[in-house]
Structure 1
Amino acid sequence: MASLSDVLKKTRKLFRDKKLDNADLDARLLVEFVTSTTRTDELLNPNLQVSDDALQRLDRAVFERLHGKPVYRIIGKREFYGIEFQLSVDTLEPRDDTEALVDLALPEIHAIIGQCGKARIVDMGTGTGAIAIALLANVDRLKAIAVDISDNVLETASLNAKNAGVTDRFTPLKSDWFFNLSGKFDMIISNPPYIPESQISSLATEVKKYDPLRALAGGQDGLDFYRKLTEGSRPFLKPHGLIAVEIGKGQEEDVIALFSESGFKLKKTRKDLNGILRALLFS
Structure 2
Amino acid sequence: MSDCEPGVSVGAFLCQAGQLLRAAGIEGPRMEARLLLAHAMGCRQEDLLRDPRAPVPPAAQTVFRAALAARARNVPMARLLGHAGFWTLDLLVDGSTLIPRADTETLVEAALDAFPNRGAVRRVLDLGTGTGALLLAALSEFPTAFGVGVDREPAAAALARANATRNGLADRAFMVAGDWAGALSGRFDLVLSNPPYIESAVIPALMPEVALHEPALALDGGADGLDAYRFLAGALPGLLAPGGRAVLELGQGQEMAVTALARTAGLRILECRPDLGGVPRALVLAGL
Counterparts of 2:216 and 2:131 in 1: how far apart (Å)?
15
Q: Is 1:68 paired with 2:101? A: no
Counterparts of 2:85 and 2:106 in 1: how far apart (Å)?
15
* Cα deviation digits, residues 23-80 of structure 1 (max 9, x gap): 3332222111111121321343333321122112111111111122112112222111
Q: Is 1:3 paired with 2:5? A: no
- Partner of 1:279, secondary structure, is strand
* Cα deviation digits, residues 187-211 of structure 1 (max 9, x gap): 1110000001120121122212211
Q: Is 1:225 paired with 2:231? A: no
Counterparts of 2:28 and 2:270 in 1: how far apart (Å)?
36
The residue type paired with residue 85 of structure 2 is E
Contact 2:118 2:142 in 1 (8 A): no
Q: Aligned match of 1:59 in 59, 65, 76?
A: 65
The residue type paired with residue 231 of structure 1 is G
Contact 1:136 1:144 in 2 (8 A): yes
* Cα deviation digits, residues 103-143 of structure 1 (max 9, x gap): 11123244362xx4x42110000000011111212221121
The structural deviation recorded for 1:252 is 0.8
Q: Work out the number of aligned pairs and report it.
A: 280
CA pair 112-265 structure 1, distance change in 2 beyond 3 A: farther
1:161-240 counterparts in 2 under 5 A? Answer: 161-240=164-243
Counterparts of 2:137 and 2:52 in 1: how far apart (Å)?
35
The residue type paired with residue 11 of structure 2 is S
Q: TM-score, normalised by structure 2?
A: 0.92
1:154-165 counterparts in 2 under 5 A? Answer: 154-165=157-168
Contact 1:175 1:181 in 2 (8 A): no
Aligned twin of 2:38: 32
Counterparts of 1:31 and 1:126 in 2: how far apart (Å)?
31
Counterparts of 1:92 and 1:12 in 2: how far apart (Å)?
27
CA pair 250-37 structure 1, distance change in 2 beyond 3 A: same
CA pair 24-278 structure 1, distance change in 2 beyond 3 A: farther
The residue type paired with residue 155 of structure 2 is N
Counterparts of 1:275 and 1:235 in 2: how far apart (Å)?
32
Range with bigger deviation, 69-78 or 250-259: 69-78
Structure 1 portions without partners, runs of 5+: none
Counterparts of 1:142 and 1:45 in 2: how far apart (Å)?
47
Aligned twin of 1:254: 257
- Partner of 1:104, secondary structure, is helix
Q: Is 1:103 paired with 2:109? A: yes
1:79-118 counterparts in 2 under 5 A? Answer: 79-111=85-117, 113=119, 116=120, 118=121
Q: TM-score, normalised by structure 1?
A: 0.93
Counterparts of 2:172 and 2:19 in 1: how far apart (Å)?
46
The residue type paired with residue 262 of structure 1 is A
Counterparts of 2:262 and 2:151 in 1: how far apart (Å)?
22
Q: Is 1:269 paired with 2:269? A: no
Range with bigger deviation, 159-168 or 199-208: 199-208
CA pair 132-198 structure 1, distance change in 2 beyond 3 A: same
- Partner of 1:84, secondary structure, is strand
- Partner of 1:241, secondary structure, is strand
Range with bigger deviation, 265-274 or 52-61: 265-274
Aligned twin of 1:241: 244
Range with bigger deviation, 104-113 or 249-258: 104-113
Range with bigger deviation, 47-56 or 245-254: 47-56
Higher relative contact order (CA 8 A, sep 6+): 1
Counterparts of 1:37 and 1:147 in 2: how far apart (Å)?
36
Contact 1:189 1:243 in 2 (8 A): yes
The residue type paired with residue 261 of structure 2 is L
Contact 1:112 1:119 in 2 (8 A): no
Counterparts of 1:267 and 1:160 in 2: how far apart (Å)?
31
Tell me the percent identity.
Answer: 34
